[in-house]
Amino acid sequence: MKRRNGSSDSLLTKAGGELDDRFKLAGPARVLFNKVFPDHWSFLLGEIALFSFILLLLSGTFLALFFDPSMTEVTYDGAYVPLQGIEMSRAYESTLHLSFEVRGGLFMRQMHHWSCLLFMASILVHMLRIFFTGAFRAPRETNWMIGIVLFWLGFFEGFFGYSLPDDGLSGTGLRIMEGMTASVPFIGPWASAALFGGQFPGTTVIPMLYIIHVFIFPLLMLGLIVVHVALVFIQKHTQWPGPGRTEHNVVGYRMFPNYVMKQVGFMLFIWGVLAAMGGLFQINPIWLFGPYEVSVVSSASQPDFYVMYLDGLIRLFPAWEFRVPPYFTLPAVFWPAIAGMGLSVLLPLLYPALERRFTKDRGHHNLLQRPRDNPGRTSLGVMVVVFWTIGAVSGGNDVFAEKFDISLNAMTWAGRIGIVVLPIIAYYLTYRIALGLQQHDREVLAHGLETGILMRDPNGRFYEVHQPLAEPDEHGHTELEYNGWVVPKKMNRVGALPPTDKGFFKSIEEPSENGSAARDEIESGSKH
Amino acid sequence: MSAHNDSARDEVEPVDLDDPKLTRFEVYKEGLRRDDIEIIHYEPRFPKPGTKAEKRMERIVGGLFLLAGLFATLFVAAFIWWPWEYEGAATWRDPQTWYTPVLGFFLGFALLFFAVGVLTWAKKLLPVEELVQDRHDGGSSKDDRRIAESTVDTMVDDMGLRRRPFLVKSALLAAAPLGLAAIAPLGALIKDPGDMYTVTGWNAERYNDGEPIRLMMKDGALVRPDMVSAGGQITVYPAIDHGATNQFPTAPTLLIHLRETDAATLRGNLYPMYQDVDALWGNFVAYSKICTHVGCPASLYEQQSQRLLCPCHQSQFNVVDNAAPVFGPATRHLPMLPITVDDEGYFTATSDFLVPPGPAFWNRPSLPEEDEK
């Protein structure tokens, strides 16, 4: 054992030497290996998106080997009996072929679709984390904007992706996109004719979306993701405030081996979940929808979840069409679809600049803020989340109405009123909750933790014993500044009274030593 | 820099790397020092190597890796040997029903076992560590900036950008058309929308040599009045070449046989433009099936309330009132196809739709008669 270790060491040294002779790596490699990363679960949300993206590239490459983006009319004579003899496009036929007659094809297709959903979902959650903690502030505005662009590229990449099979559902999505495109002032009909090569649906849109879906957008996204991650690396990750953490340092563990091992494990974990989902959970069973025909649609035609809020806005928006007789028409769909989407791109892009302008805060921020410490921003974020959620729920209002036996029109009206009123209420409530949390933090800092122990003094007065967080003055007050750190709210957070029942499968009964001492001290009434 | 880090650097003296007495860890720490990193806390997870607890943890991690390998092998084996070919509707007893779930299960758990193995190694066997590194936030040093500035200025002056304004201006002037030239090929995509929104498959002049176009069903069967019972409806297409295909996306039409009372109501409500062309035939009315909102087929016919509902965005149209929108985001009625029955007893369209069917578009002419009651 010993000797083999020794020889492999020298082999490693020799290989390193050969590499360094050629590439001069020793310095940069050391800097890389030693780089310190801060540690928090919430910093890993973006990684989920990154790992899903890698799996999307891998599974998508497999699909591209079998999918044929052609609109040539063919008669189906494949394995799936219910569709045999039906006229359809090559695109749809090759997707059916991929699903039924290619070994593992359905597994790959489903894994690809689930990865896309996880990609978009994790981007959204990652974005909320960045927003609510103020991580987008200087010097990281550029990376925030790259992230927003990546979200919208993913949005269209996903939409184009599920449009490719040319099944009944995807054709319905394209139909709606055509209606939206034609509504754009001045260029609408021309843009639509360019997109569909003339009248919808035409035969050119699927090949066009294919080259965008498999080449242009993935390339753009890969490039932006590389820049996104490189900027996080160069600018160094933000960190939560805490003991020893300042605006000018990073506290955490080293890139190698700790961080990299955790990342590799996490990546395999995400892939494992997605592989299991791709095999076990059905998604987008295109063979049930039939080929796209302009005269056929079914109820419960829902887009993927990340498009649903837009579809919901289109459903909720009132029938307001502006006409300039006799020449021009501004269709109702323009407002939610084109103006709405435009604002959904623009406002998030501009948000860091707008906040800088209104707060006049020009400084660099490497320490994160707790959401409660910036009630205005937090409330704004919750407002947007509520708006988005009502939109997304309204995107499925026919399904909700049917499943819960509600009037469809009542659902629509509830959405119309709700999307105006509820975000305002959400703003107010969030603001009050944030202020309440701030106040409670400061109360704990001033008076100490609630212990849950009630005492009665000789005069008959009841009071609760508090555990001060520092040496109190004669009134029992402590002078502790709030500095953005997490304030302990329970006794077991300060080391006393840990949970007695430990262990996963069986209890490990092991009362903490200092815990019992602290309890004795408190119960004897010497501290309050 | 924070006081904390300043003091840290004061404490750690650079070491002499040529000192033969240096341990490997001291050399390593010198590297950390050069990268402005200070160790706050660093201790092995198991202070005494080779304890039972450490051995147990090693066994767990190793076991997870071996399980991952086993599952990966099972995945490959299932991929090759599990019966996979789809042979029509199968029950859960047939193994090919389970092909996709089996693949997902084996590959998923192979990856998950390996993942948990790596994570356990990192969390339970690597040293407990906390380090602090200086951030060096906020731009380069004053010297670097000054040098970069001078470098750029020298470059600018070498090129003579300030002294030769003519060159700059002419280059900029040429850049605009060059940029245009770069994107000009995209112009090949541009097509004149022409009358694609206004002419449908029901246009007899264009698609049937001026002969009135008959109504047909999906399978090509021509439509006679006795084929639709009162209160019923069918989807009809122009009886021309490819009339029922996606080549004529605005042609699909809903032929409804109204009950007597409903037909009377509709005749009372009929817009003047439809009265003029006598658009109904008996109690039969034909409406464009393409929703005027964004173009899904408005195909859910609710007989009780005489409404047509579009399942995409829930626009609702009143069948006994010119299919005018009564709820949802649609703003215009579903255009009526004027129909009659020819000598041979088949339905024909007497003309194309009087107003463009389908979703609105920017240069859609807004006709005053549409809003007339």
Is the predicted pLDDT of residue B99 greater than 90, yes or no? yes
From the list A277, A297, A325, the residue facing B311 with the nearest CB is: A297
Q: Report the run of H or E that residue A273 belongs to, with start and end.
A: helix A260-280
DSSP 8-state symbol, A367: B
Q: Is B100 on the interface with A (CB under 8 A)?
A: yes
Q: What is the pLDDT of residue A490?
A: 84
Q: Report the run of H or E that residue A224 belongs to, with start and end.
A: helix A217-235
B293 neighbors A333 (Cβ within 8 angstroms): yes
Is the predicted pLDDT of residue B201 greater than 60, yes or no? yes
Bridge partners of A501, per DSSP, are: A509
List, for residues B72-95, the tens digit of each pLDDT value.
Answer: 999 999 999 999 988 877 788 889
Q: Which two tokens stand for residue A248?
A: 């000018």
Identify the band that residue A110 occupies on the pLDDT scale cut at 50, 70 and 90. very high
From the list A100, A326, A397, the residue facing B365 with the nearest CB is: A326
Q: What is the pLDDT of residue B369?
A: 56
CA–CA distance, B196 with A275 (Å, rounded to integer): 45
> Among residues A450, A430, A445, which one has the least CA distance to residue A483?
A445
Chain A partners within 8 Å of B296 (Cβ): 172, 175-176, 297, 301
CA–CA distance, A386 with B335 (Å, rounded to integer): 38
- Beta B37-43 vs B128-134: how paired, if at all? antiparallel
Is the predicted pLDDT of residue A29 greater than 50, yes or no? yes
Nearest CA in chain B to A89: B246
Chain A partners within 8 Å of B4 (Cβ): 244, 246, 249
Q: What is the pLDDT of residue B373?
A: 41
Chain B nearest CA to A202, separation (Å): 7
Q: Is A37 helix (H, G, I), strand (E, B) or coil?
A: strand
pTM of the model: 0.92
Is the predicted pLDDT of residue A3 greater than 90, yes or no? no
Chain A partners within 8 Å of B86 (Cβ): 79-80, 100-101
Contact B197 A100 (CB under 8 A): no
Q: Which two tokens stand for residue A160?
A: 């184009």
Identify the band that residue A376 occupies on the pLDDT scale cut at 50, 70 and 90. very high
> Among residues A402, A182, A307, which one has the least CA distance to residue B314?
A402
Is the predicted pLDDT of residue B5 greater than 50, yes or no? no
Contact A319 B331 (CB under 8 A): yes
Contact B123 A280 (CB under 8 A): no
Residues 6+ apart with CB under 8 A from B14: B30, B33
Which carries the bigger pLDDT value, residue A8 or residue A413?
A413
Q: Is A329 helix (H, G, I), strand (E, B) or coil?
A: strand
Q: What is the pLDDT of residue A111?
A: 98
B351 neighbors B343 (Cβ within 8 angstroms): no
Chain A nearest CA to B87, separation (Å): 7
Average pLDDT over residues A269-279: 98
A107 neighbors A41 (Cβ within 8 angstroms): no
Contact A182 B197 (CB under 8 A): yes
From the list A104, A198, A333, the residue facing B329 with the nearest CB is: A333
B228 neighbors B215 (Cβ within 8 angstroms): no
List all residues of chain B from 107 to 136 with a beta carbon under 8 Å from chain A.
107-119, 121-123, 126, 129-135
Q: Which two tokens stand for residue A366?
A: 């490497």
Q: How many CB atoms lie under 10 A from the CB of residue A24?
A: 10
From the list B114, B117, B126, the residue facing A258 with the nearest CB is: B126
Contact B103 A188 (CB under 8 A): no
Contact B359 A182 (CB under 8 A): yes
Chain A nearest CA to B167, separation (Å): 33
Exposure of A71 in the CB half-sphere (CA atoms within 13 A): 22
Share of chain A above pLDDT 90, in %: 80
B315 neighbors B328 (Cβ within 8 angstroms): yes
Chain length of chain B: 373
Q: Which two tokens stand for residue A360?
A: 């006049």
Chain B partners within 8 Å of A292 (Cβ): 246
Nearest CA in chain B to A185: B362
3-state secondary structure chain B: CCHHHHHHHHHCCCCCCCCCCCCHHHHHHHHHHHCCEEEEEEECCCCCCCCHHHHHHHHHHHHHHHHHHHHHHHHHHHHHHCCCCCCCCCCCCCHHHHHHHHHHHHHHHHHHHHHHHHHHHHHHHCCEEEEEEECCCCCCCHHHHHHHHHHHHHHHHHHCCCCCHHHHHHHHHHHHHHHHHHHHHHHHHCCCCCCCCCCCCCCHHHHCCCCCEEEECCCCCECCHHHCCCCCEEEEEECCCCCCCCCCCCCCEEEEECCHHHHHHHHHHCCHHHHHHCCCECCEEEEECECCCCCCECCEEECCCCEEECCCCCCEEECCCCCEEEECCCCCCCCECCEEECCCCCEEECCCCCCCCCCCCCCCCCCHHHHCC
From the list B35, B193, B315, the residue facing A190 with the nearest CB is: B193
Average pLDDT over residues A20-28: 93
Contact A198 B108 (CB under 8 A): no
Identify the band that residue B365 occupies on the pLDDT scale cut at 50, 70 and 90. confident
Chain A partners within 8 Å of B122 (Cβ): 257-258, 261-262, 265
Exposure of A504 in the CB half-sphere (CA atoms within 13 A): 0
Q: Is B301 on the interface with A (CB under 8 A)?
A: no
Pick among A196, A281, A294 to test the B interface (most B CBs inside 10 A): A294
List, for residues A411-457, the tens digit of each pLDDT value.
Answer: 999 999 999 999 999 999 999 999 999 999 999 999 998 888 899 99
From the list B296, B313, B363, the residue facing A189 with the nearest CB is: B363
Which carries the bigger pLDDT value, residue B73 or residue A7?
B73
DSSP 8-state symbol, A339: I
From the list A193, A236, A257, the residue facing B193 with the nearest CB is: A193
Pick among A235, A249, A313, A324 to test the B interface (most B CBs inside 10 A): A249
Bridge partners of A328, per DSSP, are: A324
Mean pLDDT value across chain A:
91
CA–CA distance, A35 with B35 (Å, rounded to integer): 8
List all residues of chain B from 315 to 334 with a beta carbon under 8 Å from chain A.
315-316, 325, 327-332
Is the predicted pLDDT of residue A285 greater than 50, yes or no? yes
Chain B nearest CA to A335, separation (Å): 11
List, for residues A133-175, the tens digit of each pLDDT value.
Answer: 999 999 999 999 999 999 999 999 999 999 999 999 999 999 9
From the list A172, A265, A320, the residue facing B115 with the nearest CB is: A265
Q: What is the pLDDT of residue A502?
A: 62
Is the predicted pLDDT of residue A525 greater than 60, yes or no? no
Is the predicted pLDDT of residue A45 greater than 80, yes or no? yes
Identify the band that residue A515 occupies on the pLDDT scale cut at 50, 70 and 90. low
Q: What is the pLDDT of residue A497?
A: 57
List, for residues A204-252, the tens digit of each pLDDT value.
Answer: 999 999 999 999 999 999 999 999 999 999 999 999 999 999 999 999 9
Nearest CA in chain B to A320: B331
How buried is A235 (Cβ within 10 angstroms: 0-12 exposed, 13-18 middle, 19+ buried)? middle
Contact B196 A251 (CB under 8 A): no
Is the predicted pLDDT of residue B1 greater than 50, yes or no? no
Contact B135 A277 (CB under 8 A): no
| Cβ–Cβ pairs < 8 A, chains A and B | 322
Chain A partners within 8 Å of B361 (Cβ): 182-183, 188-189, 192, 329, 331
From the list A34, A272, A300, the residue facing B111 with the nearest CB is: A272
- Beta B253-257 vs B128-134: how paired, if at all? unpaired
Nearest CA in chain A to B103: A279
List, for residues B239-268, the tens digit of each pLDDT value.
Answer: 999 999 999 999 999 999 999 999 999 999
Side chain identity, residue A86: I
Q: What distances in angstroms separate CA A453 from CA A475, A495, A519, one per listed residue?
A: 19, 17, 10
A254 neighbors B131 (Cβ within 8 angstroms): yes
List, for residues B121-168, the tens digit of each pLDDT value.
Answer: 999 999 999 999 999 888 899 999 999 999 999 999 999 988 999 999
Is the predicted pLDDT of residue A335 greater than 70, yes or no? yes
Q: What distances in angstroms separate CA A131 from CA A39, A345, A355, A361, A385, one per listed residue?
A: 19, 15, 11, 16, 12
Chain A partners within 8 Å of B331 (Cβ): 319-321, 331-332
Pick among B97, B131, B200, B367 to test the A interface (most A CBs inside 10 A): B131
Residue ranges of E strands in A396-496: 449-456, 462-467
ipTM: 0.93
Chain length of chain A: 528
Contact A326 B332 (CB under 8 A): no
List all residues of chain B from 4 to 33 with a beta carbon under 8 Å from chain A.
4-5, 31-32
Identify the band that residue A467 occupies on the pLDDT scale cut at 50, 70 and 90. confident
List all residues of chain B from 189 to 228 with a beta carbon under 8 Å from chain A.
189-193, 196-197
List, for residues B267-309, the tens digit of each pLDDT value.
Answer: 999 999 999 999 999 999 999 999 999 999 998 888 888 999 9
Contact B126 A298 (CB under 8 A): no
Residues 6+ apart with CB under 8 A from B2: A246, A247, A248, A249
DSSP 8-state symbol, A256: I
CA–CA distance, B234 with B244 (Å, rounded to integer): 13
Least confident span in A103-117, A502-516, B38-52, B341-355: A502-516
Chain A nearest CA to B164, separation (Å): 34
Chain A nearest CA to B168, separation (Å): 30
